[in-house]
Amino acid sequence: MRKLIKSLVAATALAGTLAATPAFAETCPNKGGTLVSWLGQTPRHLNPAVQSGVVTGAPGAQLFATPLRYTDGWEPEPYLAESVTTSDDGLSVTIKLKDANFHDGKPITSEDVKFSVETIKANHPFKAMFGPVESVETPDPKTAVLKLSQPHPALMLAMSSQLMAIIPKHVYGDGQDIKAHPQNSENVVGSGPFKLVEFTRDQHVILERNDDYFMDPPCLDRIVMRIIKDQSAASIGLENGELHMAPFMNTVRNIKRLEKAEGLNVTSEGYAAIGALDWLAFNTKKGPLADKRVRQAIAYAVDKKFIMGALMQGLAQEAKGPIHPGSPLAEPNLPSYDVDLEKAAALLDEAGFPMKDGKRMDLSINFGWPSIKPQAEYVKAALKKVGIEVAVKASPDFPTWAKTVSNHDFDMTMDTVFNWGDPVIGVHRTYDSKNIKPGVIWSNTQQYENPRVDELMEMAGKETDPVKRKALYKEFQEIVADELPVYWLNTLPYHTVYSDKVGNPVKGIWSSSSPMDRVYLK
């Protein structure tokens, strides 16, 4: 029996057809003008089919369209797809395409969908996104049928935002290495609301309106994404009007400053699917940290209220488990580790680490992001109170940190990791024992192993009943919150700052990694 899918509150693909009228097809209150936005880093390139990350996602979502897009209520809407139909057994997903063209005027066909899925599967770092897709059939130019080895409830989210860019086979299928293709960075051919004018590394990405856009034409004439690596400099640009909008601001000091600035608005809305968490991760196979009692003792010694108040200044939420609290699948009632130094000491004694000459053990914390240094320094001070001496090790650059952590040469590490919408995409990778891959960062670098956790993730990854799926993830979260391969601290304080001149700033669940066709200047 088929039914209209009106929501995916649990981010679950159900049997039925999605063919509702998009909520995004609204007229522009004002047309024209150039929006100047902010990018905090230089993108490696602009093709999200083979590159993850929000600095690729922001321009990539303007250049490339995806089959679906999402409302801020986690509801999927047709975008490049006219409809998406899932079979009753969940093993076949049919995408019917709208009449749409690429930027070079060539029509988008099912062959482009097939090519895009195959390219993403072979090259994108998020292997779980399309892992169950065994083949893509193209019975006619407007119909692509994804054949799955098992039901895949994460697929609907994977069809949105920067995750399933539909790229032209006639451009990117020319035999060149797709990851190094010259048209990833210049003469980019997509079908999104904007076309590429210029990408100058470390300076800007300039986009212009796509007048042949398959939906209502974008409101803006141009978007200039200025690359400014110093958030304080970007803050000055917002204050003096040189920047209209800055998504993904995360420096507490600057956010607090901008909240007081006249003519600017600051919001934390729009990051639920990004799902960024700051955490303290443990090497569960090394020394004292192999004992969960030691990991629990560390949790009891860390005062998250201090982190939320003094360090985050109220701009972040507490993270209690592996799923971001903005997700419908997050379990709110997880074991709490409210600061309790007596309990921490008792656990350390029980684990065989008594206090000797004022110390129980020596550990270290590695970190690769300068913004996370305050948490690392605080943890050092907190653990000293229970006899754990901590050496804080700042890596000189990201590659050095990634090599150290991915090769399991660490005790503890502070990190920021994204959920990417559905747990299958961004959560499983951290806890799956099959994903312990030396040399691969953001895999199971904690070397955590629990057969029941593996089983729960496998079942939840293909469960299409939203109630049953939520129950599976509830048990999963309860187990890892007890065993603590990671101690989750806080959500990353991502905020969007925008001028009073900006209408309909991007929020949704993907922030600026979603199309800006309805953004306008007043």
Residue 506 is predicted with a pLDDT of 87
**Confidence tier at 280 by pLDDT (50, 70, 90):** very high
Mean pLDDT of 410-424: 94
Cα torsion 347, 350, 355, 360 to 10°: value is -70
- The yes-or-no verdict on residue 471 having pLDDT over 50 is yes
Residue 20 is predicted with a pLDDT of 52
Residue 500 is predicted with a pLDDT of 97
Q: Which residue has the tokens 């609301």?
A: 193
Per DSSP, 99 falls in state S
**Confidence tier at 152 by pLDDT (50, 70, 90):** very high
Residue 22 is predicted with a pLDDT of 53
What's the rounded Cα separation, in Å, for the pair 125 and 79? 24
> How far from chain centre, in Å, is Cα 488?
16
What's the rounded Cα separation, in Å, for the pair 384 and 359? 8
Q: 201-233: per-residue pLDDT in tens? A: 999 999 999 999 999 999 999 999 999 999 999
- The yes-or-no verdict on residue 330 having pLDDT over 80 is yes
Residue 165 is predicted with a pLDDT of 97
Nearest to 276 by CA among 315, 246, 305, 304: 315
What's the rounded Cα separation, in Å, for the pair 486 and 476? 14
Angle (deg, nearest 10), helices 466-483 and 292-301:
90
Q: 483-509: per-residue pLDDT in tens? A: 999 999 999 999 999 999 999 998 889
What's the rounded Cα separation, in Å, for the pair 18 and 155? 13
Structure tokens at 130: 């399309």
Between 106-120, 359-373, 381-395, the lowest mean confidence (pLDDT) is in 359-373
Q: 183-204: per-residue pLDDT in tens? A: 999 999 999 999 999 999 999 9
Q: How many CA atoms lie within 13 A of 315 on its CB side?
A: 24
What's the rounded Cα separation, in Å, for the pair 465 and 273? 20
Residue 17 is predicted with a pLDDT of 74
Burial of 219 from C-beta contacts in 10 A (0-12 / 13-18 / 19+): buried
Total Cβ atoms within 10 A of residue 329 = 23
Domains in the chain, please, with CATH? 16-269+495-521 (3.40.190.10), 276-491 (3.10.105.10)
| Rg (alpha carbons) of the chain, rounded to whole number | 23
Q: What is the mean pLDDT of the chain?
A: 93
